[in-house]
Amino acid sequence: MKKILLIHTGGTIAMEENKHTGGVNTKEIHPLEATITELSNIAQIVSKNYVNLPSPHITPFHMQELATFIQEQTKSEQYDGLVITHGTDTLEETAYVLDLVLETPIPVIVTGAMRSSNEHGSDGPYNLISSVKVACDQQSLGKGVLVVFNDEIHSAKNVTKTHTSNIATFQSPQYGPIGIVTKRGVFFHHTPLQSSRFSVKHFTKKVILLKAYAGMDSSLIEAASQNVDGVVIEALGQGNMPPLTVPAIQDLISRGIPVVLVSRCFNGIAQDIYSYDGGGKQLKEMGVIFSNGLNGQKARLKLMIALENTNSSEKLQQLFLE
């Protein structure tokens, strides 16, 4: 029987609804205890509580510490797979950081729930069982960190939370899931490309994320970027900015602060196509780094991680093309 390490970090999957106030909050005794007992016919589960936080309280510091915790745990004991339970709001960010920094030969699965433990149709136990099945499956090896939710398997790189409340919230726009979980087993239909691993001891760089809008000028960029090491902007369409933002972007680049552009569009890749004022061609010639389809929150984490390893704008551009 496979041995799976289950690490809890909190989130709705660890919460219950107060039937008087309707508020959802953390619970003393982990509500997945009963499911863990049930799982004993699928795998041997070793369960550890890492933190018990709603995921809006999770920071890059926790993500990096979690990676260290995982590395320590998997070195001191032999496991066949790892399942992490997490709040859904920032789940994709933790999964992506783990995907970029973890060096482990075993499958790593991140999951959560949209409905807390005592709500009708609570999805936590089901998602946990599916995740353990995926963690036990040989085919999950070498696919990077995976997010298992609502019968689907997604790559950490592409998955994002798309709905505020629906249990089918996790989707991979443009690419779709890489596999499914059914009553009979785990079926993969795609294999993600291997991406680079980075070593990060601590996050020390401050990178901010801004979103472009019609009529935007330089003021927000100027005000927000006084003491930063990098800026990620969710630009318009294929990677264009309103012309009045150009002086502030130029100023950042002149000061050696990298500016990474992603698109605020849900699908597609930001590219240097348009040559008008503020268009992608002008931005690229100025030294703006175009990212290869990551969303804003993930590009921010990748820039934080990359800046711990390099300051070279050529290397940064190369990393964001991967």
- Shortest approach of ligand ASP to residue 93 CB, angstroms? 11
Task: Using alpha carbons, list the distances in angstroms from residue 31 to 124, 152, 182, 238, 296.
Answer: 9, 23, 24, 45, 33
Tell me how far apart the alpha carbons of residues 264 and 130 are, in angstroms, rounded to a whole number. Answer: 32
Q: Which helix (H) or strand (E) holds 222?
A: helix 219-224
- Shortest approach of ligand ASP to residue 12 CB, angstroms? 3
Nearer to ligand ASP, 121 or 215 (CB): 121
Nearer to ligand ASP, 55 or 160 (CB): 55
Q: Which two tokens stand for residue 139?
A: 């085919």
Amino acid identity, residue 66?
L
- Given a contact cutoff of 8 angstroms between Cβ atoms, the answer to whether 87 and 111 are in contact is no
| SS3 track for 103-151 | CCCCCEEEECCCCCCCCCCCCHHHHHHHHHHHHHCHHHCCCCCEEEECC
Q: State the catalytic residues.
A: 12
Task: Using alpha carbons, list the distances in angstroms from residue 145 to 100, 163, 220.
Answer: 9, 22, 35
Q: Which residues contact 83 (CB under 8 A, 6 or more apart)?
A: 4, 5, 6, 7, 109, 110, 111, 128, 131, 132, 135
Nearer to ligand ASP, 32 or 216 (CB): 32
- Shortest approach of ligand ASP to residue 241 CB, angstroms? 31
- Shortest approach of ligand ASP to residue 203 CB, angstroms? 20
Give the three-class secondary structure for 281. Answer: helix
Interface residues with ligand ASP (CB under 6 A)? 11-12, 54-55, 87-89, 112, 114
Nearer to ligand ASP, 12 or 171 (CB): 12
Half-sphere exposure of 239 (CA within 13 A, CB side): 27
Nearer to ligand ASP, 112 or 144 (CB): 112
Nearer to ligand ASP, 149 or 320 (CB): 149
Closest residue (Cβ) to ligand ASP?
Answer: 87
- Shortest approach of ligand ASP to residue 286 CB, angstroms? 37
Q: Which of 293, 58, 289, 35 is nearest to 155 (CA)?
A: 293
- Shortest approach of ligand ASP to residue 69 CB, angstroms? 19
